[in-house]
Homo-oligomer: A and B are copies of this chain.
């Protein structure tokens, strides 16, 4: 299994310095991931490995490792175990997120549920959730357990909320922000908050790094939603339009619908609400998003969250680790271009 090889966050980008700074810890996280996703029921490591090994950016666990070091944590391997927890929660969420109803089959890469079926994805996701829970209990620190159990609840709530906005063109920007806050930014926030908690740093440092993680997560998700409609993504040979085909309501579409004339609103409702659409409709959608600058507008908001993440980090004195964490913000935003 090439978990080690694929665990790097990519080369020649703004993440390199951060990866270099936590390389040893990240190696331990990768070993812990493999050891702790083991089960004699071989389908479990097989299916979990498919997702964890493939294309893992490891961004969330890296945040735990990096904030722990930024805050001077040095007393053991708790950061490694908890970074593994974070990755397991993330992977379990992905597995459950990919469970599709018959009405919304996903195109592009074969997902775990396409390869092994819905039910296996659900159950292996449950296994990873449980394993992450076991890891936390082994850590045994109640404040850590409180952060992570609360985080799990909020993520689950956010996922249900997202389900309710799907196919609903009446979704407001506020509702959308609530969804991505819960389903994405909360885990980034928890991952970053664990560092100061492990290092027993004052509440103000915890709050600063929680804010860093939250704002980074918001920016990350907004850029993700832009990428699904992005020419750059298409140039790289990746599929675009997955969100469109699923009728997922993301910010670009919300802005496009708000600006639309009557005929265009009919178009959005037909394609996103009833999913009555063809590939030509995806082209039309891209045109409309361009016409009203919806992708640029979404990026403008992503940059604003990025700025807030930057400000939160200024609470800490300059250091190579702080600079690397600032670079992560740049990475999250620049990948759109």
Q: Which positions in A face B, CB cutoff 8 Å?
A: 39, 41, 43-44, 96, 99-102, 117-120, 122-124, 126-127, 129-131, 133-134, 136-137, 140, 142, 145-146, 149-150, 152-153, 155-157, 159-161, 163-164
Contact = CB atoms under 8 A, between A and B. Distances in A.
B118 A96 contact: no
A118 B123 CA distance: 13
Most buried by B among A100, A126, A155: A126
A99 B119 contact: yes
B156 A127 contact: yes
Task: Report the copy number of this chain in the oligomer.
Answer: 2
Contact of A126 (B39, B136, B159): B159
A153 B140 contact: no
B130 A156 contact: yes
Given A41-B164, A161-B41, A127 B102 contact: no
Given A41-B160, A99-B119, A137 B126 contact: no
Contacts of A157: 39, 41, 44, 127
Q: Which 9 pairs across A and B sit closest by C-beta, in order of nearness? A: A130-B152, A127-B156, A130-B153, A126-B156, A134-B149, A133-B149, A137-B145, A123-B159, A137-B149
A100 B119 contact: yes
B99 A160 contact: no
A97 to B, nearest CB: 9
A101 B127 contact: no
A249 to B, nearest CB: 15
Given A149-B133, A160-B44, A96 B126 contact: yes
Nearest to A127: B156
A62 to B, nearest CB: 24
A121 to B, nearest CB: 9
A312 B76 CA distance: 42
Contacts of A163: 43, 119-120, 123
A164 to B, nearest CB: 6
A127 B156 CA distance: 5
Contacts of A41: 157, 160-161, 164
8 contacts: A43-B160, A101-B117, A120-B160, A123-B160, A127-B160, A133-B133, A133-B153, A140-B142
A149 B122 contact: no
